Amino acid sequence: MTGASGTVGGQVLDLLARRPEHEVVALVRPATRWAAPPGVVVAPADYADPASLRAALGGVDTLVFVSSDGHAATVMLHHVNVVRAVTDAGVGHVVALSGLDVDVESPFCYAVTNGHTEELLAASGCAVSVARASVYTEFFLRLVTGARTGSELRLPAGDGRVSLVSRADVGRCLAALALAGPTSGHHDLTGPEALDGPAIAAAVSSAQGGQAVRYVEVDPADYAAALARAGETSWWAHAYGTMLESIRHQRWRAVSDEVERLTGAPPLSVDDVLARKALSRPAG
């Protein structure tokens, strides 16, 4: 699997490594300092190095393909390299992590990369199971923290709703798809409900013992200016802004039962993730 040393990839790797009937191979950058779980084979590979990808994928039956990161153009180049290596190595099945918004006409910068990657995989000739994840709950809560001004949650999301899904649930689903074999379709991975800005603010308020947090819709330009004042890079300000614009356009509101169908357990809600976060904080 790619992205094995990352948060989602590491979760998938741990789940697959518990199955001794499978040989699990972790693709990691050559210079990465990372300890693989017991029994996992480490293969050096880099998204930007096609030859290393082809060598690492030789003899692989199933690839769990966790998305690259960074500028959209770089991500697209990385994904082209992976799909070409998959074809050259004769990989039989790819479990690909994608996004709920894959419309190449979407304002969200990564919707374009996800949509084109799915098109490349469909044309590759190998069997493909696509996991289209909604926005990660943990990521969005960090975004919310940065958008707080006193008791106000200031975001340019309008009345858009988003079915936030936890990274843990996405990891469990990727592992389940890898073990199940090709499904030749896509699976929408979402949380149990789609929340708008006021509902997310209410969940944050509840997690903070009732301290009032109020959602305030702001102009996208004002939001971008606030990110710049906070020291955010121009690229990530663009990525966050386009994601929130796509939320405003209701592109992330779909809710499915795929997490429970694939894993046998219901997805974590925003309240569940906030409660786990509170429990993980050190006392005192």
Q: Does residue 49 have a pLDDT over 60?
A: yes
Residue type, 277: K
CA angle 228, 229, 232 (to 5 degrees): 40
DSSP states of 122-170: HTSSSEEEEEEE--BHHHHHHHHHHTEETTEEEES-TT--B--B-HHHH
> Which residue segments constitute the domains of the chain, with CATH numbers given?
7-133+167-189+254-266 (3.40.50.720)
User: What is the chain's mean pLDDT, rounded?
Assistant: 93
Q: Does residue 210 have a pLDDT over 80?
A: no
269 vs 32, higher pLDDT: 269
Assigned token pair, 138: 């943990």
Count the neighbouring beta carbons within 10 Å of the beta carbon of residue 209.
Answer: 7
SS3 202: helix
| pLDDT reported for residue 279 | 56
Contact 129/94 with Cβ under 8 angstroms? yes
Residue type, 258: E
Q: Does residue 21 have a pLDDT over 90?
A: no
Give me the mean pLDDT over the 221-228 stretch: 94
At 166-196, the pLDDT tens digits run 999 999 999 999 999 898 789 999 999 999 9
| pLDDT reported for residue 284 | 46
At 69-97, the pLDDT tens digits run 999 999 999 999 999 999 999 999 999 99
pTM over 0.85? The answer is yes
Strands of the chain (E only): list them: 25-28, 41-44, 62-65, 93-99, 127-133, 148-149, 152-155, 186-189, 214-217
User: End-to-end alpha-carbon separation of the chain, Å?
Assistant: 39
